[in-house]
Structure 1
Amino acid sequence: MADNRPAPKTIPGWINFVIGGLSGMMATCIVQPADLLKTRMQLLGPEAKGQSAISVAKGILRKEGPMGFYVGLSAGLFRQATYTTGRLGSFNTILDWYKAEYGVPSFSMKILMGMTAGGIGAFIGTPAEVSLIRMTADGRLPPEKRRNYKNVFNALNRIVREEGVTALWRGAVPTVTRAMVVNAAQLGTYSQARELLLPTLGEGIVLHLWSSMIAGFVTSAASLPVDIVKTRVQMAAKGSSQIGVLLNIVKNEGVMALWSGFLPTLIKIGPHTVFTFIFLEQLNALYLNT
């Protein structure tokens, strides 16, 4: 007997990209204060001695008010719209090609695909990243040195006009490097933590939460030195190599300065992973149920 039941509704590929980007943008709205705090701490340099995340947060609140924590939000959202969409699109394209040519990929091959896609997405998103770093850092500069970008598009336009198009990709190499490290650490750790915790916690949001936080801790520790170097390179008035910036940090501030801002980084990466997947699942369900 023929099966006359309608085929289950599926999500078109381009809708997956849109939903992925929207999920990242919604999560960014929640974690933006932690991201700004992380950037401010990374840029303290020698001033960082004796300053905690709490003291820096109090300084932002005192000088800029509550909305000071959302400076650069438009750049953060634009970064998600470019980086997250580019990463997901690249990963799905590579995955589909591999399946067609060689069959189902192994776990190690998926990690390699994730690293590659992360690098591609990061390169696409570097202009937004440069704008985000500059906008979030502006408040700590003396008034006469502030760039005072109005929004991400104003920042992009002024960077091109004042410094040239190539300035949009300043720090592209450490940005791509960081993205590859993040993807490798996050994917591998999350998968392993999920596997170990599943028998105890069972399927559900609690398992996802704990796995994400463990992955966030490892990812923060692994990626923060690269992230700090990337931030310093992108803030430099003139082109600087990441090796030169790294050696300068270690020489003048000590090795542990490479993990400056660890707490706000952890606070950002863990919840951002959780919220992104929660929003992703809800948006998928909303599309399938309409």
Structure 2
Amino acid sequence: MSDEKSKGKDAPKPRTIPKYMNFIIGGTAGMMGITIVQPADLLKTRMQLLGPAGKNASFVKVAGDILRKEGILGFYVGLSAALLRQATYGTGRLGCFNAMFDWHKANRGVPNFPTKIAMGVVSGAFGAWIGTPAEVALIRMTADGRLPPEKKRNYKNVFNALTRVTQEEGITTLWRGAGATVSRAMVVNGAQLGSYSQAREILLPYMYDGLPLHAAAAMIAGFVTTIASLPVDIVKTRVQNAEKGTGQLQVLRSVIRNEGVMALWSGMMPTYAKIGPMTILIFVFLEQLNKLYLHVTS
């Protein structure tokens, strides 16, 4: 017995990744993922901004219009802003969650399910707040292609967009819709974490615990997250694209009154086409980057 105890004491502790690397790896994984799903994100934004005129427009029609008018590169308009958003929002969200998880595990044991949801909500709010300027730039850049020539903003890149918004409209405009952005992030993180965990638990008896299981659970989580977050996302998008400051409730009432309640779920297919694969990609990239870091530093 004493030998077993001594072996337990002498057993090497599993290597962990430093807290600062959690932030760096989280942001990098997000940037890698968004590079692949940017076309779906752009489609989602364009559909959300159509308003009453585009009530019956399908994502296939919107995609066709973009391809015809802007070419294949039109699907990657605003990519620099999307990358900056992941470098801020993704870094803050994933880094904050991992830091809180590690602290809780070291001091109070493995967190239970409700605690994990709370951690996801808090980390989502933190990441969203610091990522709002890039979000504003992203919405405006992806919306530019649908505007008439005289109203186009023609931002050259995300840094040009941030500079011009600050100079022309004031620095506080960079946080326009921050409340809606934070609200959406809290809903997304809570729904994503909860539904992924539940789907994984349900599927586990029927599937091997590996990539196929994680992918299936992530796709289910992506669908649940899409349904839960789209109304908040549409309000956020329109608030941030408005030329003048507009409140969330004002936008929400306007959408329901002029377009109907179901308009709050417009762009569902491209949104799901982004969230589902994005969830899978982030976790795959996170795992591979973690392994790479441990290998390089071993």
Fold equivalence (TM over 0.5): yes
Counterparts of residues 76-225 of structure 1 (less than 5 Å)? 76-99=82-105, 102-225=108-231
Letter aligned with residue 154 of structure 1: N
Provide, for residues 40-96 of structure 1, a one-character-per-residue CA deviation record: whole Å limited to 9, x for no partner. 000000111221000000000000000000000000000000001111232234334
Is 1:37 the counterpart of 2:52 in the alignment?
no
Partners of 1:120 and 1:288 in 2: how far apart? Answer: 27
Partners of 1:222 and 1:213 in 2: how far apart? Answer: 14
C-alpha displacement at 1:178, in angstroms?
A: 0.3
C-alpha displacement at 1:281, in angstroms?
A: 1.0
Partners of 2:265 and 2:116 in 1: how far apart? Answer: 28
Is 1:58 the counterpart of 2:64 in the alignment?
yes
Match of 1:15 in 2: 21
Partners of 1:186 and 1:261 in 2: how far apart? Answer: 19
C-alpha displacement at 1:27, in angstroms?
A: 0.4
Is 1:244 the counterpart of 2:250 in the alignment?
yes
Is 1:25 the counterpart of 2:27 in the alignment?
no
Provide, for residues 145-186 of structure 1, a one-character-per-residue CA deviation record: whole Å limited to 9, x for no partner. 011111111111111101111000000001000000001110
C-alpha displacement at 1:107, in angstroms?
A: 1.0
Given the superposition, is the C-alpha separation of residues 171 and 61 from structure 1 closer, same or farther in structure 2, using an over 3 Å criterion?
A: same
Letter aligned with residue 182 of structure 2: V
**Which residue of the other structure, out of 240, 250, 269, is the alignment partner of 2:275?**
269
C-alpha displacement at 1:106, in angstroms?
A: 1.8
Q: Structure 2 stretches of 5 or more lacking a match?
A: none
Given the superposition, is the C-alpha separation of residues 18 and 191 from structure 1 closer, same or farther in structure 2, using an over 3 Å criterion?
A: same
Given the superposition, is the C-alpha separation of residues 98 and 9 from structure 1 closer, same or farther in structure 2, using an over 3 Å criterion?
A: closer
Partners of 1:53 and 1:140 in 2: how far apart? Answer: 14
Is 2:23–2:96's contact at 8 Å kept on the other side of the alignment?
no
Give the SS at the match of 2:196.
helix
Q: Structure 1 stretches of 5 or more lacking a match?
A: none
C-alpha displacement at 1:193, in angstroms?
A: 0.3
Letter aligned with residue 225 of structure 1: P
Partners of 2:185 and 2:56 in 1: how far apart? Answer: 30
Provide, for residues 98-144 of structure 1, a one-character-per-residue CA deviation record: whole Å limited to 9, x for no partner. 45664432210110111011011100100000000000000000011
Give the SS at the match of 2:35.
helix
Letter aligned with residue 76 of structure 1: A
Give the SS at the match of 1:227.
helix
Aligned residues: CA RMSD: 1.7
C-alpha displacement at 1:5, in angstroms?
A: 8.1
Match of 1:256 in 2: 262
Given the superposition, is the C-alpha separation of residues 201 and 100 from structure 1 closer, same or farther in structure 2, using an over 3 Å criterion?
A: closer
Letter aligned with residue 93 of structure 2: R
**Higher deviation after alignment, 22-31 or 11-20:** 11-20
Is 1:282 the counterpart of 2:261 in the alignment?
no
**Higher deviation after alignment, 5-14 or 23-32:** 5-14
Identity of aligned residues (%): 67
- Aligned pairs, number: 290
Given the superposition, is the C-alpha separation of residues 146 and 242 from structure 1 closer, same or farther in structure 2, using an over 3 Å criterion?
A: same
Give the SS at the match of 2:69.
helix
C-alpha displacement at 1:8, in angstroms?
A: 4.9
Partners of 2:277 and 2:214 in 1: how far apart? Answer: 11
Give the SS at the match of 1:289.
helix
Is 2:19–2:99's contact at 8 Å kept on the other side of the alignment?
no
- Give TM-score, length-normalised by structure 2: 0.93
